[in-house]
Amino acid sequence: MRTQVVIIGSGPSGLLLGQLLTGAGIDNVILDRVGKHYILGRVRAGVLEEGMVGLLRAAGAADRMDREGLPHDGFSLAFDGRDHRIDLYGLTAKRVMVYGQTEVTSDLMERREATGGLTIYEAASIAPHGFDTSSPYVTYDKGGTTHRIDCDFIAGCDGYHGVSRRSVPQDALKTFERVYPFGWLGILADIPPVSHELIYANHPRGFALCSMRSQTRSRYYIQCPLDEKIENWSDDRFYDELRRRLPAEHAENLVTGPSFEKSIAPLRSFVAEPMRFGTLFLVGDAAHIVPPTGAKGLNLAASDVHYLFEGLRDYYADRSTAGIDNYSARALKRVWRAVRFSWSMTVMMHRFPDTGEFGQKIQEAELDYLVSSQAASTALAENYVGLPY
Ligand code: FAD
Ligand code: DHB
């Protein structure tokens, strides 16, 4: 088989790139090692920047998001027993959209099927080859045979554990990493959110986040030790701990109910440079990971897609290589800004092993400055709604 672009990975970055390319008349095939239902079963991000919302519209996959997504004009920082609102819209004239990654993925898959795009699921041993040449190809096993797809370019959209980054000679890659000494224990439950906006809470017992997926579905997280066992956390224990970390007005209003998803996610910052190796491009989590504080992971995957799509579109329109030549530098500039923001939010909001009483006071002073200085609130809001592409 031959196509113009092989996309490895059918997560949000692979699917979004696929739809933008299809819309521009550029042939592409998506390969994933797992099935559609497995991908849709993963509960992850929930806050979309305007840039990503625009890309979903450009990809023709935004109708349901525009109907059911919740535009949010602000969020709260809770500390010292009180709530302090950050007026995103007032400070930046931009808002964010609360709409789950699972829904984004499902909408993109549906759009791909409607436009006749080919996705090969449950393909084993996927491997990119020859990407140091202008005739790369990808092999995979399915139905007892090894298949080969020849192409012009390979987009590695296969996440942190994928094969694309691992296929690059190790001496060609420079990696940067910070692992945080705690995780997030998250639950999803069909209960009304404790507040109509998100609450990020700094508390001596640890960080807590009250988010949502809709007006009837809540997504709550609490900071927990890395070695915590999920079996030790009944729903009641989770809600009790969440309540303790929230200001009284919210703790009193918390509606509880059975969770239908509960998981622990470790927190890390990771960047691999560069993001292009000949005719192979790394996109999204394949190239970088941020801790979830600030909701940047999915949005960064979308900005990578934007830069790569522009580069490929220009290449096929007039054989200009400027966009693909600049892809890595453009993407990494924005990646590092989001890595910095996510790191700073994580440091400001969590209890570290050495935070102690002094560290807690410093965090509270920083938060107090953030919410009382318009300059500082604006800087926070500008990063939260998403820096320009
Ligand atoms: P992925 O979503 O990881 O998709 C990669 C795809 O590639 C998958 O479908 C996978 O099956 C496939 N694949 C993997 N290996 C191979 C292979 N060898 N061959 C072929 N296909 C392969 N971000 C936020 O902003 N907020 C959050 O709350 C949040 N929570 C998260 C919780 C967890 C547990 C994780 C892991 C991430 C979370 N993120 C969050 C980050 C966000 O979900 C990611 O940034 C986003 O999914 C990146 O999209 P992607 O398409 O680049 O990668
Ligand atoms: C969600 C996750 C985040 O990391 C965040 O900052 C905001 C919301 C969520 O899953 O809803």
**Could you tell me the residue ranges of all domains in the chain?**
5-70+97-177+268-346, 180-266+351-385
Torsion of the alpha carbons at 334, 337, 341 and 346, rounded to the nearest 10: 90
CA 47 – ligand 1 centroid, Å: 15
94 catalytic per annotation: no
Token look-up 């672009």 returns 5
> How far apart are alpha carbons 195 and 176 in whole angstroms?
37
Pocket test for ligand 1, best of 10, 40, 285, 300 (most atoms within 8 A of CB): 285
Mean pLDDT for 169-192 is 97
Ramachandran area for residue 294 (φ above 0: left; ψ -120 to 50: alpha; else beta): left
| Structure confidence by residue, pLDDT tens digits, 35-92 | 999 999 988 999 999 999 999 999 999 999 999 999 999 999 999 999 999 999 999 9
> How far apart are alpha carbons 8 and 125 in whole angstroms?
11
Contact 59, 368 (CB under 8 A): no
> How far apart are alpha carbons 109 and 104 in whole angstroms?
9
Mean pLDDT for 169-189 is 97
Q: What percent of the chain has pLDDT over 70?
A: 100
Q: Is 46 in the pocket of ligand 2 (CB under 6 A)?
A: yes
CA 240 – ligand 2 centroid, Å: 20
Closest ligand to residue 96's CA: 2
Three-state secondary-structure class, residue 137 = strand
Instruction: Determine which one of 12, 72, 99, 193 is catalytic.
Output: 72
Measured from the Cα of 158, ligand 1's closest atom is: 7
Mean pLDDT for 177-183 is 98
Q: Is 159 in the pocket of ligand 1 (CB under 6 A)?
A: yes
**pLDDT value at position 144?**
96
* φ, ψ at 268 (rounded to 5°): -150, 155
- What is the full DSSP assignment across 294-361? TS-HHHHHHHHHHHHHHHHHHHHHH---HHHHHHHHHHHHHHHHHHHHHHHHHHHHSPPTT-HHHHHH
> How far apart are alpha carbons 135 and 116 in whole angstroms?
25
Contact 96, 88 (CB under 8 A): yes
ipTM above 0.90, yes or no: yes
Confidence tier at 6 by pLDDT (50, 70, 90): very high
Amino acid identity at 384: Y
Cis peptide leading into 274, omega within 30 of 0? Answer: yes
72 catalytic per annotation: yes
> Do the domains 5-70+97-177+268-346 and 180-266+351-385 sit in the same CATH topology, yes or no?
no
Pocket test for ligand 1, best of 44, 121, 126, 166 (most atoms within 8 A of CB): 44
Alpha helices in the chain (DSSP H): 12-23, 36-40, 50-58, 63-68, 88-92, 101-114, 163-166, 235-245, 248-253, 297-318, 322-349, 356-372, 374-385
Instruction: Determine which one of 137, 200, 220, 327 is catalytic.
Output: 200
Q: What percent of the chain has pLDDT over 90?
A: 99
Is residue 131 classed exposed, middle or buried when 0-12, 13-18 and 19+ CB atoms within 10 A define those classes? Answer: buried
Instruction: Determine which one of 203, 288, 296, 350 is catalytic.
Output: 296
**pLDDT value at position 228?**
95
Query: Nearest C-alpha to atom 32 of ligand 1 is from which residue?
Result: 44
Three-state secondary-structure class, residue 103 = helix
**pLDDT value at position 262?**
96
- What topology is assigned to 180-266+351-385 in CATH? D-Amino Acid Oxidase; Chain A, domain 2 (3.30.9)
| Structure confidence by residue, pLDDT tens digits, 204-253 | 999 999 999 999 999 999 999 999 999 999 999 999 999 999 999 999 99
> How far apart are alpha carbons 384 and 219 in whole angstroms?
19
Q: Is 292 in the pocket of ligand 2 (CB under 6 A)?
A: yes
> How far apart are alpha carbons 242 and 199 in whole angstroms?
12
Token look-up 């929930």 returns 46
Confidence tier at 199 by pLDDT (50, 70, 90): very high
Mean of all residue pLDDT scores within the chain? 97
Measured from the Cα of 44, ligand 2's closest atom is: 10
Mean pLDDT for 308-328 is 97
CA 11 – ligand 1 centroid, Å: 6
**pLDDT value at position 43?**
87
369 catalytic per annotation: no
Confidence tier at 286 by pLDDT (50, 70, 90): very high
Mean pLDDT for 7-18 is 98
CA 374 – ligand 1 centroid, Å: 35
Measured from the Cα of 123, ligand 1's closest atom is: 20
Closest ligand to residue 167's CA: 1
- Dihedral sign (CA 188, 192, 197, 200): negative
| Structure confidence by residue, pLDDT tens digits, 116-143 | 999 999 999 999 999 999 999 999 999 9
Mean pLDDT for 150-177 is 97
| Structure confidence by residue, pLDDT tens digits, 337-351 | 999 999 999 999 999
CATH of domain 5-70+97-177+268-346: 3.50.50.60
200 catalytic per annotation: yes
* 69's tokens: 């997504």
Report which of 250, 336, 323, 249 is spatially closest to residue 287, judged by C-alpha positions: 336
